[in-house]
Amino acid sequence: MARSLLFEIGTEEIPYSYIVPALVFMKSWISGRLKEAKLPLEPVDAFGTPRRLAVRVSGLPDSLPDTVENRMGPAKKAAFDADGNPTKAALGFARSAGVDISEVGFAQTPKGEYLCITRTIPGRPADEFLTEVLQNMVSQIPFPKTMKWSNPGVRFARPVHWIAALFGEEVLPVSFGNVKAGRQTRGNRFMAGDLVDVPDARAYESLLTERFVVPGIEKRKALIWEGVGMNARNLKAQVKDKDLLDEVANLVEYPHVIIGRFDDAFLDLPVEVLVTVMKHHQRYFPMYSLEDGSSLRPYFAAVSNIVPKSDAVVRTGNERVLKARLDDGKYFFEEDLKVPLETYAERLKNVIFHKDLGTSYEKMERFRKVALYLADMLAPQKKEKAAEAAYLCKADLNSLMVCELPELQGIMGREYALRQGRDPEVARAIHEHYLPTSAEDELPSDAIGDLVGIADRIDTICGCFGVGLIPTGTSDPFALRRQTIAIENILLVKGYRISVSGLIDQSLLQLANRLKRDRAEVKDDVLSFFRSRFVSILQARGIPGDVIDAVLKGFDDPVDTFMRAQAITEVRQEEWFAAISSASKRVENILKKTQAKGAVSEALFVQDEEKALYARFREMEDPFIAHTAKGEYARALMLLAGMKEPIDAFFDKVLVMSEDEDIRRNRIALLKSLVGLFDQVAQFSKISF
């Protein structure tokens, strides 16, 4: 008879971010053990609320499948003597298996006939097996942090108050510390918190729903979004912040949407201030205008964990809390506007960025010079604005608003700059120099934000490497990996052609009096760090791994490296390409054994094949170089198609390692010239076929 398994751990309120990873682990653990036991595997359902983590599996049998054991013994010739009587080896084998010698059979193997015992082992009762699975799982559930309480010897995300473990109607004897499993669960803490029996695992969801708990996370999310959206439409507004849904859904067990209002006067504050206060501090859903989708309406949606006797009471409480927050925001905003951004920038002299890297003001002075260096190369017409943006971009870190709401760094600097009459491009760059903040985030909208953002990041990267703050596999406190990828993405997407090596040199020049390591060593480490991060960018853009290996040797300009990778990916399927790659490998192997000295001399050519190869090489050399100089790598590579036949003929007919030293040297020089030309695009020998 098929039965369902239910396992629930009841706790005090678990942090919302712990719930989904814990459920993923529980599902994986149980699925894996059921698969190992060869039990029929139905989908494992997971349920999670702030007070419970639960899984349910349907369609489980009463016992595990029987297993057939084949136990091999000694060879037949060693098991019986000449008269056919069993030897000590045969009798010992039968005795060890607990059977009579007459029950022993034979099995044919590649090495001959051996004694064999075949028997069927009845499957274990499923309840015993499942008890072990659950018992072992509880202490293994991973959490970022755990705590201990009056329950001795155990740790969990929050104190465990009850465990329900049912196999059909049977309670499984699972325990955790001094909490023993039963068949009881609890409903909503405030509306139906008493213990209640679960008659059967299949009744779990309906039983909890009756007691004001929606155990399914996706169902709670759907209820919240539907309720928030419906109320927004009634107010001629819309909701957009679906990213808040995962968090809110795991803060409540029985979502009830309540609409609140705030004073229209607060709409004079920047939208980001209102949204940050509502979303990040109160977990409210802001409501946006239907017309433009960006301006706010003076309403919000709060999600309660209960159905109150009066929505008005809860609404009033939420409105009061939000008003206090917005009053603070209004005060900070008005006070900040009284202080010029230059004053805040000067106050950075009193803010330590890092004890080994000086103040935030010193950092600003360093990356401002780097920004000007970049502006000279990439946007000379923006140089003055880039200098101003670099000077002011960290000023708002000293403002009252950002001290209270750090999420608004850059945003408030932009707002203050605009309201103090700054150039809009400078104001925009103050905010956008922080972009992108992740791989999916948008990039700065113009060159000023790009230049200042790159300069700020390279100062942090080189500074940290320079004083020994190098990321490890598990630690990257200054987010240097993310900052490196951000620089490379800006360069790649915007098409900025610069030398990363030169950028590092410029940054290290400004950091000269702060470095604690050898400058050349720091440069090598930082360049290698950029190279390794660029691998992930190329992978994300679909470049094959062997092509990535082929183009990275010459990594310095990310745009150029990507164009070379694209070109090779485009032409690698051409018939001639394999011959070029094979030739490169052969030449590299030859050059490992000997050194090429001197230039190629036509007078030393003896065979027609080497003459033909050199003639074809000289014919395509200049056009090849011209195309690569323009970044036309696909066109350059197509010129190599004409090299296939002379290369094949050369290696078929010509002995490179001639006994004549001059001829040998000349042939090696020819091959080195050939591969040297190819290497302007990539190391073809790295490409697999």
Q: What are the residues whose beta carbons fall under 8 Å from the beta carbon of 350, sequence distance 6 or more?
A: 359
Q: Is 650 helix (H, G, I), strand (E, B) or coil?
A: helix
Structure-model confidence comparison of residues 96 and 155, the more confident one: 155
- What is the C-alpha separation between 439 and 482, in angstroms, rounded? 8
Query: Would you say residue 458 has pLDDT above 90?
Result: yes
In this predicted structure, the answer to whether residue 481 has a pLDDT above a threshold of 80 is yes
Maximum C-alpha span of the chain: 113
Smallest Cα–Cα separation from 35: which of 12, 57, 68? 57
> Rounded to whole angstroms, how far apart are CA atoms 245 and 16?
11
Of 2, 6, 3, 1, nearest to 166 by C-alpha is: 6
Burial class from Cβ neighbours inside 10 Å (0-12, 13-18, 19+) for residue 636 reads buried
CA 636 to each of CA 103, 219, 243, 563: distance values in angstroms, whole numbers, following the listed order:
78, 57, 47, 12
Three-state DSSP state, 434: coil
Kindly report the backbone phi and psi dihedral angles of residue 318, in degrees, each rounded to the nearest multiple of 5, phi listed first: -65, -40
Instruction: Indicate whether 121 pLDDT > 80.
Output: no
For residue 1, the model assigns a pLDDT of 65
Q: For residue 283, what pLDDT is reported?
A: 96
Distance CA 431, CA 427 (A): 7
**DSSP for residue 684:** G
| Among the listed residues 7, 20, 26, the one whose alpha carbon sits nearest the alpha carbon of residue 221 | 20
Q: What is the pLDDT of residue 664?
A: 86
Contact 254, 191 (CB under 8 A): yes
Which comes out higher in pLDDT, residue 595 or 673? 673
Query: 552, 488 in Cβ contact below 8 A?
Result: no
Q: How many angstroms separate the CA atoms of 635 and 571, rounded?
A: 10
Q: Three-state SS string across 175-231, please?
A: EECCEECECEEECCCCCCCCEEECCCHHHHHHHHHHCCCCCCHHHHHHHHHHHHHHH
Whole-number Å distance between alpha carbons of 318 and 390: 40
Task: Give the pLDDT confidence of 221-253 residue by residue, as tens digits.
Answer: 999 999 999 999 999 999 999 999 999 999 999
Q: What is the length of the chain?
A: 689
253, 372, 468, 477, 507 from 514: Cα distances, Å: 54, 21, 11, 19, 11
CB 637 within 8 A of CB 567: yes
Across 42-47, average pLDDT: 91
List the structure tokens of 483: 């900052």
Averaged pLDDT score across all residues of the chain: 92
User: What own/partner pairs with CB < 8 Å and gap ≥ 24 does 105-114 have?
Assistant: 106/76, 107/70, 107/72, 109/72, 111/75, 112/75, 112/76, 112/77, 113/75, 113/76, 114/72, 114/73, 114/74, 114/75, 114/76
**Over 70: is that where the pLDDT of 594 sits?**
yes
Q: What is the DSSP secondary structure assignment for residue 279, as one 8-state letter?
A: I
Whether the CB-CB separation of 530 and 502 falls below 8 Å is answered with: no
**Token pair of 519 as six digits:** 């400058």
Q: Which of 198-207, 264-273, 342-351 has the lowest mean pLDDT?
A: 198-207
Please report, for the chain, the start and end positions of each structural domain, with discontinuous segments joined by +: 3-62+125-210, 67-121, 217-337, 352-390+416-540, 574-686
Distance from C-alpha of 604 to C-alpha of 656, rounded to nearest angstrom: 13
- Is the dihedral angle over the CA atoms 540, 545, 551, 553 positive or is it negative? positive
Please compute the mean of the pLDDT values over residues 366-374 and round it to a whole number.
98
Residue 370 near residue 458 (C-beta atoms within 8 A): yes
Tokens of 521: 């060593």
pLDDT at 36 > cutoff 80: yes
Residue that wins the pLDDT comparison between 671 and 498: 498
Share of the chain above pLDDT 90, in %: 70
| % pLDDT > 70, the chain | 99
Going from the C-alpha of 23 to that of each of 9, 26, 260, 444, 517, the distances in angstroms are 11, 5, 33, 38, 46
What are the tokens at 339? 């202080």
What radius of gyration, in Å, describes the C-alpha atoms of the chain?
Answer: 36
Segment holding 238, helix H or strand E:
strand 237-238
Q: How far apart are CA 188 and CA 13, in angstroms?
A: 12
Quick one: average pLDDT of 644-648? Answer: 86
CA distances from 328 to 335, 344, 435, 685 (A): 11, 20, 27, 65
Give residue 105's pLDDT band: very low, low, confident or very high (50, 70, 90). confident
Judged by average pLDDT, the poorest of 109-113, 296-300, 537-541, 618-622 is 109-113
Query: Closest Cα partner for 559 from 503, 500, 635?
Result: 500
Q: The domain 574-686 is classified under which CATH number: 1.10.730, 3.10.450, 3.40.190, 2.40.160?
A: 1.10.730
As beta bridge partners, residue 196 has: 185
Q: Which residues of 538-568 are buried (b: 16+ CB within 10 A; e: fewer)?
A: beeeebbeebbbbbbeebebbbbbbbbbbbb
Q: Which three-class secondary structure state does DSSP give residue 476?
A: coil
Crossing angle for the helix pair 480-494 and 558-571, nearest 10 degrees? 70
> Which is nearest to 67 in space by CA: 43, 94, 98, 36?
36
Pair 246, 23: CB distance under 8 Å = no
Whole-number Å distance between alpha carbons of 389 and 423: 10
CA 74, chain centre distance (Å): 55
User: Which range is most confident: 292-296, 352-356, 648-652?
Assistant: 352-356
Identify how many contiguous H helices and E strands the chain contains and give both numbers.
26, 18
pLDDT for residue 391 is more than 70: yes
Q: Which are the contacts of 580, defined by CB distance < 8 A and separation ≥ 6?
A: 640, 643, 644, 647, 678, 684
Consecutive H or E run containing 232: helix 217-234
- 288-308: average pLDDT: 93
Q: Do residues 436 and 442 make contact, with C-beta atoms less than 8 angstroms apart?
A: yes
- How many whole angstroms separate alpha carbon 654 and alpha carbon 228? 79
Q: Is the pLDDT of residue 494 over 80?
A: yes
pLDDT confidence of 596, banded at 50, 70, 90? low
